[in-house]
Amino acid sequence: MSAAQSSPLVAHGANASLAEQLADRFGQRIQQRLLAPGARLPSVRDCAQRHGVSPSTVVGAYDLLQARGLVQARPQRGFFVRETAVPLPTATRGERKPLPAPVDATALIRSMFQAQGGLPAPGMGTLPEAWLDAELLQRTLRKVCQQPQAWLGYGDPAGSLALRDALVQRLADLGVPATSAQIVTTVGATHALDIVSRTLLQPGDAVLVDEPGWAVEYARLTRLGMRLLPVPRGSTADGGPDLTVMEALLQAHKPRLYVTVSVLHNPTGHSLTPATAHRVLQLAEAHDLTIVEDDTYAWLAPPHATRLAQLDGLQRTVYISGFSKILTPQWRVGYVAASAALAERLIDTKLLSSLTTPGPLEEAVALCLQQGLLRRHAERVVAQLDAARARTVRLAQAAGCHFVTPPAGLFGWVDVGTDTETLAQQLLDEGWLIAPGTLFHATPRPTSLMRVNFATTQDVRFWQRLQALRR
């Protein structure tokens, strides 16, 4: 296949010239921050070969981008995205913009639920729609809506009592003791993280975070004015946080919080061992540290997995989870479990940020928990995921890639042997959306790692194309 045949960025015979088409597509990526300020555009020669056009066409496209104030030329070095680029006109109402690839946190959020051009999205952050139980959602919500008088008002500031009572049993099954008074519902787990941060932190405070870790959490904390202190994750023999680095950061910076994923860590899939969890809690006690435990993937994990809140009993830990990863991303239902005193403070912050949370959805989730419907659905999903993971591992290894950490849960941390940020742009041209490893670092850096979603990476065509690009 020639470069011209494989690249959908330009079309011969279209109304716009090839240079205009190429400039428009690069302009869209700059506007969406898929090419970040300071990023270097492909060389004229490489760009021409990739898209099947002449070097003069590429020079013309880059000249147009300069005229629009989006890039600047640096002698003997090439073309670079300007630090302050002029924004492009937004799409007209009803027009759907091309879906961006995830090369920064906001782009990742925009793209995490969708695929490119009908192809499976290896970088997607959720389960495929076909794996979700639409009938279960419809049935439970229909039943809840038969009694609208129960949720016509604002509702309890702490959230649906039915849901909080059901969550008491759910947490007990995980070994986490809590009462309904210690649980506050939220608009998803991300909202829960935000409420905790706004309650316990002030701008300028230092916060420990896992690295690699969740790009959205890095961006969220940074926007709040916090100083991020990355704790390396996955570099030690047991795959957990580097406790030596963690202790040094605690002594030097006295951080207020440690935001971490104990079970099925994103992106590595690692879960804490009991010994490491115990040591983390010892450090927290010695340095007056609060641990925020994000258990977003709880329904995909073994119930016996070690959780910090289980060992600590919600004394120094704040436990967060939700249902978007198992029910549907659009049902933004999450929750926080904390000490009773902290729960009251979290309610105050919640009232200032969202007043209350959507009662009908919370009641529907409560019904799913009370009747065992969610548990049975999760069992079916886990069985599907186990099969998908085994197939993906075989395909990845056949393509010459290897997993840095043992494959587990929804995500795999894969070394492909070449820079994945460059690879992301090349695969995007062909409709494949991947999550390059630079996304998962507090300070972006070149890396040959990428995160794959086991449920959406079973298409042999993707691995064949990746293998060809690696070469």
Q: Which tokens is 137 given?
A: 């959602």
Average pLDDT, the chain: 87
Distance CA(375)–CA(371), nearest Å, equals: 9
pLDDT of residue 92: 43
pLDDT tens digits, one per residue of 425-469: 888 878 888 889 988 988 878 899 999 999 999 999 999 999 999
**254 pLDDT exceeds 60?**
yes
pLDDT tens digits, one per residue of 305-336: 999 999 999 999 999 999 999 999 889 999 99
Name the more confident of 258 and 100. 258
**221 pLDDT exceeds 90?**
yes
> What is the percentage of the chain residues whose pLDDT exceeds 90?
61
pLDDT tens digits, one per residue of 115-147: 445 677 898 889 999 999 999 999 999 999 887
Spatial CA neighbour of 233 closest among 287, 283, 202, 272: 272
Distance CA(442)–CA(434), nearest Å, equals: 19
Q: What angle do CA 406, 470, 235 make, to 5 degrees?
A: 30
Distance CA(37)–CA(471), nearest Å, equals: 29
Taking the model in full, what pTM does it have? 0.80
The model's confidence at residue 10, banded by pLDDT at 50, 70 and 90, is low
pLDDT of residue 109: 52
Which amino acid appears at position 254 of this protein?
K
Name the more confident of 97 and 250. 250
* Segment 288-303 mean pLDDT: 95
DSSP string, 192-237: HHHHHHHHH--TT-EEEEEES--HHHHHHHHHTTPEEEEEEBS-ST
pLDDT of residue 374: 96
Q: Give me the phi and psi of 267, to 5 degrees please.
A: -110, 0
Distance CA(205)–CA(225), nearest Å, equals: 8
On whether the CB atoms of residues 158 and 347 are closer than 8 A, the answer is: yes
pLDDT of residue 108: 53
pLDDT of residue 14: 58
Q: Which tokens is 348 given?
A: 């105050």
| Contacts with 9 (C-beta within 8 Å, 6 or more apart), sequence order | 21, 22, 25, 51, 429
On the question of a cis peptide bond just before residue 212, with omega within 30 degrees of 0, the verdict is: yes
Which amino acid appears at position 56 of this protein?
S
pLDDT tens digits, one per residue of 168-187: 999 999 999 999 999 999 99
pLDDT of residue 33: 66
**2 pLDDT exceeds 50?**
no
Residue with tokens 């998803």: 188
The neighbouring-strand residues paired with 335 are: 185, 321
Q: What angle do CA 299, 365, 152 make, to 5 degrees?
A: 155
Q: Give me the phi and psi of 334, to 5 degrees please.
A: -140, -175
pLDDT tens digits, one per residue of 84-120: 544 444 444 344 343 333 345 555 555 554 444 567 7
pLDDT of residue 40: 84
- Structural domains of the chain in order of their starting residue, each with its CATH number: 3-81 (1.10.10.10), 105-125+376-470 (3.90.1150.10), 134-371 (3.40.640.10)
| Contacts with 386 (C-beta within 8 Å, 6 or more apart), sequence order | none
Q: Which H or E element spans position 321?
A: strand 317-322
pLDDT of residue 171: 97
On whether the CB atoms of residues 78 and 43 are closer than 8 A, the answer is: yes
* Segment 19-34 mean pLDDT: 79
pLDDT of residue 13: 55
Residue with tokens 């809590």: 178
On whether the CB atoms of residues 399 and 467 are closer than 8 A, the answer is: yes
Which amino acid appears at position 222 of this protein?
T
**344 pLDDT exceeds 80?**
yes
